[in-house]
Amino acid sequence: MTELQEYNFQLIHKLSSSQKKVDALSQRPDHTQGKDNNADQILLKGEWSRSIKTQEGKFWKEIEEVEEFIEEEVREAMEQQEKG
């Protein structure tokens, strides 16, 4: 799971009816139509989602701190340069 935290992605379900080219194998009449086949299935636990959001929040806070540090360093360098 920690490896997935390195990526920014979003899972989007697309209905087969919205796709122009449908995979013929997935539409065979002898296959089930998939009705209720995902009932009671949890792929991503809630605590994993919260963990990812928490880690993301920490990441952006660290980015902001680095940006503030760089801005301060640049400001000080410019002041030193103006003083001569």
State if pTM tops 0.85: no
Residue 38 within a domain: no
pLDDT at 73: 92
Structural domain contains residue 68: yes
Under the banding of pLDDT at 50, 70 and 90, the label for residue 37 is: confident
Does the residue 77 lie in any domain? yes
Domain count across the chain: 1
Domain that holds residue 55: 48-84
Provide the token pair at 74.
Answer: 């640049």
Whether pLDDT at 7 is above 60? yes
Task: Report the pLDDT averaged over residues 57-73.
Answer: 87
Token code pair at residue 73: 């360093």
Is the pLDDT at 13 greater than 60, yes or no? yes
Asked if residue 40 is part of any domain, the answer here is no
Measuring CA to CA, which residue among 62, 43, 60, 61 is closest to residue 4?
43
Please count the other Cβ atoms lying within 10 Å of the Cβ belonging to residue 57: 10
